[in-house]
């Protein structure tokens, strides 16, 4: 593949920022059991864990706020400025968590402050994920759009691996109690380094063309809500399924392995990290394949069917409890994650025109994530623990994949409809 040097530079800097933000955002999920003991009263350990996942969900509830704010900035003033602003906020919030006293030190101020900082992280990350993918696809040659967009979910998956590795290290038996703070502190500083790097990348040429032609709308949110409701359904379905699959199949899987299979936390994190690492490696490869076949929508639908059928098998293998069976479960998770994630950013990109793309994609993704992704660990925990249904989490994934397949099958192919008024050259 050939591409201008500026494209590779933009890809490196954009993906690095996404990696750093997602490493810190998901580290919290991996450390849910540990944080439950530090920030919530221990009258009921199971209730404390639910509270911790509740704070996890709050970060998602705040995502629509960030989508509106950063989407407006991205569509009115430029993708670059929005990406710089989001990483500043993430750095501040992450440093704050790393410095936060625990419940034993300041009482109820600890969980409430943690809640506020997670809200800021939720706002920040909503301006990053879709915006970075849009930024890269708008700079890429048209025949490499899936490949370019695939690097952002790959970076997010890599960030989850990094967060998982950090959780693995701080969960080792010999690590001091305060070791959980180190990844947050380093992550906050790294986000500020990412800000410095983003200052030196050029603005999206597609956005600049739209600006030169005076096609930018002063109120992109109103245009999205009035004229593009059906387009938003496509993005919402993709976001809902992705959140449920990733946060049950990987983030909550750590808790599942510990509580249902009886594996130590640091070993459970290691398995989850391996599955996510395979996903990170396979996403760009599958993105290249989606460009080669020139049918990203069909690849995504095929992935939904495969995940609907195989998810119960993943949990069945995990419950076997052997290293080989759990490894096979995570291998299936990682490969299916790569197959489904690779074409999705191109589908989202095609669903909306340039002048409202940042706002519309971020809003639809964030609303859906707030409802489905942020609550996925709590739903899985309720089905498996409270309802004593060990396959509840896997069947929730199957239902989500089946519904997404059915809805998206009836949605138009927006790439064929040429919904983007400023095509790449």
DSSP conformation letters of 181-243: HHHHHHHHHHHHHHHHHHTTSPPPHHHHHHHHTT---S-HHHHHHHH-HHHHHHHHHHHHHHH
Residue 60 has which token pair? 């998602």
Q: What is the mean pLDDT of residues 154-171?
A: 84
Is 1 part of a structural domain of the chain? no
Is 4 part of a structural domain of the chain? no
For residue 37, pLDDT over 70 is answered with yes
- Residue 425 binned pLDDT confidence (cut-offs 50, 70, 90): very low
pLDDT, tens only, 232-280: 999 999 999 999 999 899 878 888 898 888 888 778 878 888 998 999 9
Is the pLDDT higher at 372 or at 200? 372
Is 52 part of a structural domain of the chain? yes
Q: Alpha-carbon distance 49 to 55, whole Å?
A: 10
CATH number of the domain at 308, please: 1.20.1250.20
Is 424 part of a structural domain of the chain? no
For residue 391, pLDDT over 80 is answered with yes
Q: What is the mean pLDDT of residues 189-193?
A: 80
Is 88 part of a structural domain of the chain? yes
- Residue 2 binned pLDDT confidence (cut-offs 50, 70, 90): very low
Give me the pLDDT at residue 50, please: 64
Is 417 part of a structural domain of the chain? no
Cα radius of gyration (the chain): 20
Neighbours of 292 (CB within 10 A): 11
pLDDT, tens only, 110-131: 888 888 888 888 888 887 888 8
Q: Which of 22, 12, 13, 70 is CA-nearest to residue 194?
A: 13
* Phi, psi of 201, deg, nearest 5: -110, 150
Residue 322: is it exposed, middle or buried by C-beta count within 10 angstroms (0-12/13-18/19+)? exposed
Give me the pLDDT at residue 44, please: 59
Is 7 part of a structural domain of the chain? no
Q: Alpha-carbon distance 256 to 250, whole Å?
A: 10
Residue 303 has which token pair? 């992935």
Is the pLDDT higher at 104 or at 303? 303
Give me the pLDDT at residue 12, please: 77
- Residue 416 binned pLDDT confidence (cut-offs 50, 70, 90): low
Give me the pLDDT at residue 338, please: 95
Question: Which of 146-160, 229-243, 262-276, 317-331 has the lowest average pLDDT?
Answer: 262-276
Residues sharing a CB contact under 8 Å with residue 106, sequence separation 6 or more, in sequence order? none
Give me the pLDDT at residue 419, please: 43
Question: Which of 19-28, 216-225, 351-360 has the lowest average pLDDT?
Answer: 19-28
pTM: 0.83
DSSP string, 317-384: HHHH--HHHHHHHHHHHHHHHHHHHHHHHHHHHHTS-GGGHHHHHHHHHHHHIIIIITTHHHHHHIII
Q: Give me the half-sphere count of Cα atoms (radius 13 Å) on the Cβ side of residue 414.
A: 22
Q: Alpha-carbon distance 66 to 164, whole Å?
A: 25
For residue 424, pLDDT over 50 is answered with no
Residues sharing a CB contact under 8 Å with residue 43, sequence separation 6 or more, in sequence order? none
* Phi, psi of 308, deg, nearest 5: -60, -40
Q: How many structural domains are present in the chain?
A: 1
| Domain membership of residue 82 as a residue range | 12-409
Is 415 part of a structural domain of the chain? no
What distances in angstroms separate CA 299 from CA 302, 347, 409, 414, one per listed residue?
5, 11, 12, 15
């Amino acid at each position: 593949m050939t591409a201008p040097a500026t494209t590779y530079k933009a890809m490196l800097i954009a993906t690095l920022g996404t990696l750093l933000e997602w490493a810190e955002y998901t580290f919290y999920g991996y450390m849910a059991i540990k944080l439950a003991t530090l920030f919530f009263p221990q009258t009921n350990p199971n209730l404390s864990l639910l509270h911790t996942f509740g704070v996890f969900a709050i970060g998602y509830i705040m995502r629509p706020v960030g989508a509106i704010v950063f989407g407006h900035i991205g569509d009115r003033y430029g993708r670059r400025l929005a990406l710089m602003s989001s990483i500043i906020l993430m750095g501040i919030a992450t440093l704050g968590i790393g410095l936060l006293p625990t419940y034993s030190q300041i009482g109820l101020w600890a969980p409430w402050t943690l809640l506020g900082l997670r809200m800021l992280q939720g706002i920040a990350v909503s301006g990053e994920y879709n915006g970075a993918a849009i930024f890269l696809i708008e700079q890429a040659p048209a025949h490499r759009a899936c490949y370019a967009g695939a690097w952002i979910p790959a970076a997010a998956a890599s960030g989850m691996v990094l967060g998982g590795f950090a959780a693995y290290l701080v969960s080792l038996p010999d690590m001091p109690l305060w070791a959980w703070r180190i990844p947050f502190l380093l992550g906050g500083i790294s986000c500020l380094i990412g800000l410095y790097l983003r200052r030196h990348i050029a603005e999206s040429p597609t956005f600049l063309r739209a600006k030169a032609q005076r096609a930018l709308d002063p109120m992109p949110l109103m245009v999205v809500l009035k004229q593009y409701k059906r387009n938003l359904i496509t993005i919402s379905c993709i976001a809902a399924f992705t959140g449920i699959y990733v946060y049950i199949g990987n983030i909550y899987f750590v808790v599942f392995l510990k509580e249902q299979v009886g594996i130590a936390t640091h070993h459970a994190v290691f398995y989850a990290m391996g599955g996510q690492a395979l996903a990170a490696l396979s996403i760009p490869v599958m993105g290249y394949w989606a460009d080669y076949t020139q049918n990203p929508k069909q690849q995504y639908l095929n992935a939904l069917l495969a995940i609907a059928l195989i998810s119960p098998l993943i949990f069945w293998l995990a419950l076997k409890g052997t290293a080989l069976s759990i490894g096979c479960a995570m291998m299936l998770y990682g490969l299916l994650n790569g197959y489904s994630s690779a074409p999705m950013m191109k589908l989202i990109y095609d669903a909306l025109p340039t002048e409202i793309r940042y706002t519309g994609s971020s809003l639809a993704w964030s609303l859906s994530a707030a409802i489905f992704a942020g609550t996925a660990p709590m739903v899985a925990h309720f089905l498996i623990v409270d309802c004593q249904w060990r396959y509840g989490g896997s069947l929730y994934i199957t239902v989500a994949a089946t519904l997404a397949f059915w809805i998206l099958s009836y949605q138009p192919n927006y790439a064929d409809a040429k919904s983007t008024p400023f095509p790449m050259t």
